[in-house]
Chain A
């Protein structure tokens, strides 16, 4: 069989997928770029070409700057916490103890819970009048009166981050645990014989095995965190006083609540650009880590 025919056949088999992807992803992407240079409304025809107006307005707009800051804060804090807690949980689950199998199975639960259900659950937990968090903290004596955790700008973002961490640290833990189990046992015992302490052992013997998979977890979680919409929409809708309004929420409001498709599109493209730069940067880092681990 000639390789030309093999290649042609492969393209033919991929044609349906590529055609659909072109229609539902390729074309909308191109059209978003076009719209971003117009003052088009969501409903109604056309919109005139306005050049870089949308972009220039956005960059000088304090809403955009605040949303960029909120998104970065959310992503950095939640992903850092998820990585740290996830790795600690994996190290624990790699020890021997009673009920380890059960605990490993439980780890799946938060991760399997639909994001909207998770957001709803935590909204109920944080409820200012009847929430279980208020009840628990009051009964233990940590707070004097019930508080509106999602209703105060000072606590809303932290409350969101806790809810996000609870759902997502298990993913990191599962990936780290699988990597830990791939560490050859004779290597760890050799390091013991050589007199390595627990921290030295983690840093120099175990961490190199974890580095690759953990980088992948880091990349996936960071990209997800920068795109975050669902959990915030259900828990705070970007409030109070826009303190949890991330970039995706801002795009939603601009393009759909205010129906300004043009400026919404330009904003969406800036979000896309940020995520792409992050992904490419991380990708290079992953390749470096993989290279040094091998």
Chain B
């Protein structure tokens, strides 16, 4: 390590402070808005720190009193969990056998490349036929229909993760078990899958967050509380039917909480995932 001059050291710390401020300020402000009394938020000059902390909006949004703002919010929260959850389970069920097959039989790998290449398709290229098909099957404004559509995003992604995961499990372990007379299915069940469990969990978590974040298809294919997801509900709030900006901020904080917590806890897995993607190209 080279030795730094005092000036360089000061500059580096100043730059670090600036970077930290740039990252934290907007998020912190979102939280401050969520706990500021409504009058403070529309005051001029602006009150930078709330006179009293007001957590009542969290209670408002999470209440289940019929026909309240809370009931709508909770319904969309439940829809988001249902849609992302169902799509995640389906994606993992499809991805585990496919990922294993590609990992152990490289000659079929081109089909997975084709599936992954669909990542670059803009959703607008699929939206019109998907809309017509969902309408024909009566699956518009349905959590099942939306979950099915989410597979277009989640399934290629989880399969790719599972394939890289199985690549890290030496096939010699499987061969040894089979040499001892275990059938293929038994080998997979007893040896491979338990070893792959951490990867399955990671893939499922990321898939869930992808579904949680999705907006475009949810905007198109849902119309009311029966299927409307959180992202669409927040966009509606931001679109201006609410006069209390703090309520919009509170909805944002609540929607951001799961992915932000996962991001902080899973930092290491996340970064190594990014890097392996970066290195493999």
Contacts and interface: CB of A to CB of B under 8 A. Distances in A.
B118 A25 contact: yes
Contacts of A255: 124, 127-128
Nearest to A250: B124
B89 to A, nearest CB: 13
B156 A21 contact: yes
11 contacts: A9-B101, A24-B152, A92-B12, A106-B23, A124-B30, A138-B45, A139-B45, A175-B274, A216-B281, A269-B125, A271-B122
A32 B141 CA distance: 22
Interface string B260-281: 1011100100110011011101
A81 interface: no
Given A17-B115, A120-B238, A114 B129 contact: no
B155 A13 contact: no
Contact of A268 (B127, B213, B260): B127
Contacts of A100: 16
Top 9 A-B pairs ranked by shortest CB distance? A112-B263, A213-B278, A135-B46, A10-B105, A31-B129, A13-B101, A28-B129, A178-B275, A10-B101
Nearest to A249: B124
A109 B263 contact: yes
B20 A11 contact: no
Nearest to A108: B263
B208 interface: no
A144 to B, nearest CB: 14
A105 B259 CA distance: 14
Interface in B115-166: 115, 117-133, 135, 148-149, 151-152, 155-156, 159
Interface residues of B, number: 97
Contacts of A175: 274-275, 278
B212 A32 contact: no
A95 B123 CA distance: 40
Interface stretch (A53-61, A72-80, A227-235): A227-235
Given A29-B125, A130-B42, A275-B122, A16 B15 contact: no
Interface of B is mostly: helix
Contacts of A161: none
Interface in B1-26: 1-2, 9, 12-13, 15-16, 19-20, 22-24, 26
Contacts of B52: none
A83 interface: no
Given A17-B98, A212-B281, A97 B255 contact: no
A195 interface: no
B279 A110 contact: no
A7 B107 CA distance: 7
A268 B255 contact: no
B15 A268 contact: no
Contacts of A109: 23-24, 27, 260, 263-264
B207 interface: no
Contacts of B255: 114, 116-117
A29 B126 contact: yes
Contacts of B156: 21
Contact of A114 (B27, B121, B259, B271): B259
A160 interface: no
A171 interface: yes
B126 A28 contact: yes
Interface stretch (B56-64, B67-75, B244-252): B244-252
B95 interface: yes
Contact of A20 (B94, B102, B104, B234): B94
Contacts of A103: 16, 19-20, 23
A244 interface: no
Interface string A192-230: 100000000000000000001101110000010011011
A183 interface: no
A127 B151 CA distance: 36
A97 B238 CA distance: 39
Contacts of A99: 16, 20
Interface string B106-119: 01100110010111
A178 B151 contact: no
A28 to B, nearest CB: 4
Nearest to B43: A130
